[in-house]
């Protein structure tokens, strides 16, 4: 057998091995989902080191919860690059917004928000940069609504479509109960979130500098019960969680030393105990890490 034949045989062997590992990981994740009691779980994974993908119900639609804050952040940075706003621009902190259902006013309750200090600053100013930081790292609903009103859902949707993430729908701000009752909700798929985070990881979200700033913000996430909980402490995760009643999601870029990162998205619906949902996501994260990294 010549050199060409040896090379072909080697490549075939590697592909077969990778396929077998992929099948093994998929079975392991499906087993975790099966015993979780969840109504629905979707998983999307892409390894930027090898190109390997794993998709389980990746196009199923879920209530986006706070994962929709990722494309809001991306659109803020896009408009900053376009000169439509500045990251150090001051915006007035307010707590009155208009429902997309009928234009009626509504406000947010600090009791339903994971970040409460902003409510004590109503009428004062905050920079766009600070609002983005609070929206992502502490999942501030008030910061989110102020930013969405500024950049508009229509422009956010232009951005997600341009990045091939059409499964993400951002129609409105948070806690618009009239819109919720009419089914006008922000939704996402695992594949859509994977595409958005992959763009950040590859420096394609607006541009390389903006992608790096967004990556650093995601790395500062304060809610780490999901994907990071299944990983060794040497691994960094740039991620965004989302949760409402019966819903828990985590979507992140996982940075392992001495290799390119991988992107993992886990969306769950129908687990009433949030700690069980956290544990499922952490277990899936651990399985992915062991398969991709601990060869």
Cα–Cα distance for residue pair 30/164, rounded to 1 Å: 26
Mean pLDDT of the chain: 93
Distance CA 241, CA 190 (A): 13
Q: Are 247 and 63 in contact (CB under 8 A)?
A: yes
Query: Strand locations in 1-49, DSSP E?
Result: 40-47
pLDDT at 293: 95
Q: Residue 243's pLDDT is what? A: 96
What kind and span of H or E run contains 126?
strand 125-127
pLDDT-derived band at 7 (thresholds 50, 70, 90) equals very low
Residue 17 clears pLDDT 50, i.e. is over it: no
pLDDT of residue 9: 41
Instruction: Dig out the tokens for 196 from the structure.
Output: 């958005």
- Greater model confidence, 21 or 13: 21
Mean pLDDT over residues 119-126, rounded? 98
Res 13: pLDDT: 41
Question: What does the pLDDT read at residue 15?
Answer: 41
pLDDT at position 294: 85
Task: Output b/e per residue, 228-242; b: 16+ Cβ within 10 A.
Answer: bbbbeeebbbbbbbb
Q: How distant is the alpha carbon of residue 87 from its chain centre?
A: 21
The domains of the chain, with CATH numbers, are 38-292 (3.40.710.10)
pLDDT greater than 60 at residue 209: yes
206: left (phi over 0), alpha (psi -120 to 50) or beta: left
**Mean local confidence (pLDDT), 234-245:** 97
Q: What confidence score (pLDDT) does residue 11 get?
A: 37
Hey, how many other C-beta atoms are within 10 angstroms of the C-beta on 146? 23
Using one digit for the tens of pLDDT, what is the confidence trace for 217-236?
999 999 999 999 999 999 99
pLDDT of residue 5: 54
Q: Which residue has the higher pLDDT, 2 or 186?
A: 186
Q: What is the mean pLDDT of residues 139-147?
A: 98
When pLDDT is averaged across residues 73-86 and rounded to a whole number, the result is: 98
List 43's β-bridge partners, or say none. 56, 266
Work out the pLDDT band at 105, boundaries 50, 70, 90.
very high
Residues with Cβ within 8 Å of residue 27, at least 6 apart in sequence: none
Pairing label, strands 90-92, 125-127 = antiparallel
Helix (H) or strand (E) holding 267: strand 262-269
What pLDDT does 10 receive? Answer: 43
Q: Are 159 and 78 in contact (CB under 8 A)?
A: yes
Decide: 136 and 69 in contact? Cβ < 8 Å: yes
Span 274-285, mean pLDDT?
A: 98
12 or 203, greater pLDDT: 203
pLDDT reading at 1 higher than 80: no
Residue 124 CB contacts under 8 Å (≥ 6 apart), including other chains: 92, 93
């Amino acid at each position: 057998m010549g050199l060409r034949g040896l090379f072909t045989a080697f490549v075939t062997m590697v592909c077969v091995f990778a396929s077998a590992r992929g099948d093994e990981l998929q079975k392991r994740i499906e087993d975790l989902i099966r015993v979780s009691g969840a109504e629905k779980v979707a998983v999307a994974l892409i390894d930027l080191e090898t190109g390997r993908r794993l998709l389980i119900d990746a196009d199923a639609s879920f209530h986006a919860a706070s994962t929709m804050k990722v494309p809001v952040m991306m659109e803020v940075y896009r408009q900053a690059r376009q000169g439509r706003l500045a990251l150090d621009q001051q915006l007035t902190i307010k707590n009155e917004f208009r429902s997309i259902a009928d234009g009626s006013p509504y406000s947010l309750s600090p009791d339903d928000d994971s970040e409460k200090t902003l409510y004590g600053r109503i009428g004062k100013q905050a920079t766009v940069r600070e609002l983005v930081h609070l929206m992502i790292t502490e999942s501030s609903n008030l910061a989110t609504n102020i930013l969405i009103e500024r950049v508009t859902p229509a422009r956010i949707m232009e951005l997600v479509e341009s990045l091939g993430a059409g499964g993400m729908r951002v129609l409105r701000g948070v806690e618009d109960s009239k819109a919720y009752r009419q089914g006008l909700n922000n939704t996402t798929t695992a594949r859509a979130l994977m595409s958005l985070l992959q763009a950040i990881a590859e420096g394609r979200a607006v541009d390389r500098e903006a992608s790096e700033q967004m990556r650093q913000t995601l790395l500062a996430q304060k809610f780490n019960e999901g994907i990071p909980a299944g990983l060794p402490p040497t691994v960094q995760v740039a991620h965004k969680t989302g949760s409402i009643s019966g819903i828990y999601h985590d979507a992140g870029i996982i940075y392992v030393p001495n290799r390119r990162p991988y992107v993992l998205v886990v969306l769950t619906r129908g687990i009433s105990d949030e700690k069980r949902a956290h544990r499922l996501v952490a277990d899936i994260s651990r399985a992915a890490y062991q398969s991709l990294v601990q060869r």
